[in-house]
Amino acid sequence: MREQGVHYRGHPFFACSAPLSRLEMMIDDLVPRRDAPVVVLDGGSEGLAEKAKARLLDLGYTDVSILEGGCAGWGGELFSGVNVPSKAFGEFVEHHYNTPRMPAAELKKLIAEKKKLVILDSRPFEEYHRMNIPGGIDVPGAELAYRVHDLAPDPDTLVVVNCAGRTRSIIGCQSLRNAGIPNKVVALKDGTMGWDLAGYQCERGSERLAASPSTEGKRKARDVAERVARRYGVQLVSPQTLQSWDSSRTLYLLDVRTREEFEKDRVAGSRHAPGGQLVQAADEYVGVRNARVVLIDPERVRAVMTASWLNQMGWPDVYVLESEKGLPRESGPRKPRVLDFTPWASMREPGGTVLDLSTSLRFRRRHIPGAWWVVRSRLAEATGKIDATGSITLTSEDGVLAHLAAREAQALWPQATVRVLDGGNARWNGPWEEGLSRVTCAIDDVWYKPYDHGKDYEKHAREYLSWEVALVDQIKREPAIRFKTY
C-alpha cells in the first residue's frame, strides 16, 4: 500500500504495487472478484495497511488481511525494483536459453559497414518515440512474431531486438528464436541505455512503425504460432467453455493486440494488455495469483506468443481464446472503473491555494503556476506547510484523484472551501510552470527511470542494469519462485 517509489526499495517478490493514494483507481482491475483473499502490507509501522483494509472492506472486499509486521516482518527475501517477477524472469530466460546478445559497439560497426540488418524496438510507441536506436522500427513485444516476416523476408538479414534495458530485448529476441524464424536474431545488450552509455547518439521523435502484415506475412505468423503452441503447451478455450465458467475463481480477459485494434472492436469486458507489456509488467495487470487468464487475439499469434511466456513464468491457467463467435462486443476507449467515485464540487478556473495530486514526475514537467505538490496518502503532512483558510483547489492528471481526495482535504482544512478543478490538468488551458519548488513531502511517490534523473542519467543507468543482472542470483535464494522450462 506504500507509494510506488517506496515499494521500489524492497518488497516480497509477488507483491503488487497498489498505493493507498490510488487504491480506488487500481483495485478493480487488479482484483476484480470481491471475495478473493487479499493481503495488504506496508513497511510495518506506517498504518497504511490498516487504512487500506478498512477502505477495501468499505469497497465490498470480504476477505482482507494485513501482513503481520509488513516488510519488516517478512522474514524472507526482499526485492528492490518494480515489475520484479517479470524482470527476474527475463534474466532467467537469458541464462536458460543462452539468448545471444550484441554489444552496442558491434552493432554500430555493422551499421557503418552497411550490413544487411533490421533493428526492431520492442517497446510501446511512447517509449520508442522518446528515444531509439538510429534506424530502429517500433514493433512492440508480441507484435514481433506477427510482423517480422515482412520486415526481414530475406533469411540473410540479421534481426536485432532492443528495448530500453534488458528484459524486453531478451524476451523479444528469444520469442523470434522460439518461433523458429530462419534469420539470425540477437538482443542488443542493455538496449538504448547501453547504446547511450557507449557514447552513441539515440534518435528522438522517430515514428517508424511496423506495418500490418501482408497476407503471406500472416500465413507465416500463424505457422509460427502453431509451432510455439505445441512446444509450450498453450491451451485454447472455446467461447462456450469460457461462458460456462462460474465466478468462484478470478478471471482476467486480456486483449493483447494493439490499442487501435482493441478500441475498434473487442470482446465486452476485456482489458487492453499488449502482449509485450503483459510479460514485461505482469504484476500491473494480474493481481490474483493462480487466477484464470484468457488472452484474446483473433489471429491468435500474439496471444499464443504471450501465453507461451506466461506459462513459463509459472501461471498455471493461461488460455488463448479459440474463437470470439457469440461473445458480446463493445468498442471505444475503455476507462478503468473507479470504485466509490463521488463527484465533488468543481470549478473551471483554479482559485486560492492549488494542490496538485499528480505524480511528482508529471508535476515536475508542468503544473499550474503556484501549485503545491501533494500526495493523497500524506495530505496531513501538507497541513504543516499550507495554511489555507480561504479557498483550496485540488487538481490531478485528469481530475479523478482530486475528486477522491476532496473529502479528506476538507476534513484537514475545515475552515477552507475545497473545490476540484474540472477535468484536472488535462483541461487546463492556462500557462504552465516547471520544476519541484513547492513540495509537501518526500519525493518518492513513483519510481524514476534512469532517464528521469537528468544529469545523473549515466549513474542511474549503470545501477539499473547491474540490478537487472543481479536478479538471476537473488531469485535462487527465494524457494517460492518457480519458473518453468521446456
Strand stretches in 148-189, DSSP E: 158-162, 185-188
pLDDT digits (tens, 9 = 90+) for 257-270: 999 999 999 999 99
pLDDT band for position 109 (50/70/90)?
A: very high
pLDDT digits (tens, 9 = 90+) for 192-219: 999 999 999 999 999 999 999 999 999 9
Q: Which three cell numbers stand for residue 16?
A: 503488487
Residue 480: is its pLDDT beyond 90? Answer: no
Q: Could you tell me if 438 and 360 are in contact, meaning their C-beta atoms sit under 8 angstroms apart?
A: no
205 and 96 in a single domain? The answer is: yes
Residue 475 within a domain: no
106 and 221 in a single domain? The answer is: yes
pTM metric for this prediction: 0.96
Q: Could you tell me if 441 and 21 are in contact, meaning their C-beta atoms sit under 8 angstroms apart?
A: no
pLDDT digits (tens, 9 = 90+) for 140-150: 999 999 999 99
pLDDT digits (tens, 9 = 90+) for 339-370: 999 999 999 999 999 999 999 999 999 999 99
pLDDT of residue 125: 97
Handedness of CA 188, 193, 199, 203 (dihedral sign): positive
Residue type, 9: R
Last residue of a domain, one of 227, 251, 284: 227
Structural domain of residue 195, as residue ranges?
Answer: 85-227
Residue 87: is its pLDDT beyond 90? Answer: yes
Residue 313: is its pLDDT beyond 90? Answer: yes
Residue 285 within a domain: yes
Residue 302 within a domain: yes
Count of domains forming the chain: 4
pLDDT band for position 418 (50/70/90)?
A: very high
* Residue 418 phi, psi dihedral angles, 5° rounding: -95, 130
320 and 367 in a single domain? The answer is: no
Residue 279 within a domain: yes
Instruction: Give the CATH number for residue 185.
Output: 3.40.250.10
Residue 455: is its pLDDT beyond 90? Answer: no
255 and 206 in a single domain? The answer is: no
pLDDT of residue 485: 87
Distance CA 223, CA 225 (A): 5
Q: Which residues contact 39 (CB under 8 A, 6 or more apart)?
A: 64, 65, 66, 67
78 and 91 in a single domain? The answer is: no
279 and 244 in a single domain? The answer is: yes
319 and 357 in a single domain? The answer is: no
pLDDT digits (tens, 9 = 90+) for 369-415: 999 999 999 999 999 999 878 899 999 999 999 999 999 999 999 99
Mean pLDDT score across all residues of the chain: 97
For the chain, the helix, strand and coil percentages under 3-state DSSP, each to the nearest 5: 40, 15, 45
